[in-house]
Amino acid sequence: TLGYGVDLNSQFTERFSATVGYNAFTIDGDENTDDVRYQGDLKFNNATVKLNWHPLSGGFHVSAGLVVGDIRAAVTGTPRAGGVYEFNGVQYTAADVGQLRGRVEIKDSVAPYVGVGYRSRGEGLGFYADLGVISAKTSVSLAATGLAADPQFKADLEQERRELEDKIDLSVYPVLGL
């Protein structure tokens, strides 16, 4: 989902319409790697612009457009077992690491969207359902307050960042709108 929002639709011809919308949403979530539990807030704040083609002159449509805005999460990591973090096969105590904080965000502030759906065609308020995908790249950053100057720790933390980025890969982000 892109969050709660509102869409405005304008029918140009029997076969083409355009939709603009605004969506926002915040949710708490967890993600786990082998040794770290990440907790955070996922925030959506975006606008959409879509061109809809109605091949059957009815409510069914195929859409292409853009999602403009911000999709990000701020996370805090805690060790999963025994107060020990393990990054890149090396164990570090929670005291050595200090605070582990990260950020996950969609790199592209403008991302392409494609989808299919159904939209009522009458005047005024109506019903719609869309299923589509956004194509975007994910960026993950991690920082710790403890051994930040230690080169081995920095290399191990970078490996953890890459593993987390691979696990959270949102190169194709599914979107369901109702």
Q: Which residues contact 68 (CB under 8 A, 6 or more apart)?
A: 46, 47, 48, 49, 109, 110
pLDDT digits (tens, 9 = 90+) for 131-173: 999 887 878 888 888 776 688 888 888 888 888 788 776 677 7
Backbone φ and ψ of 54, nearest 5°: -105, 90
pLDDT in tens, 67-93: 998 878 888 888 766 678 788 888 888
**Is residue 112 very low, low, confident or very high in pLDDT (cuts 50, 70, 90)?**
very high
Q: How does pLDDT run across 19-53, given as a tens digit for each residue?
A: 999 999 888 877 776 667 778 888 889 999 999 99
How many domains are there within the chain? 1
Cα(96)–Cα(156) distance, rounded to whole angstroms? 13
List the domain range (segments joined by +) for residue 15.
4-177
CATH of the domain at 16: 2.40.160.170
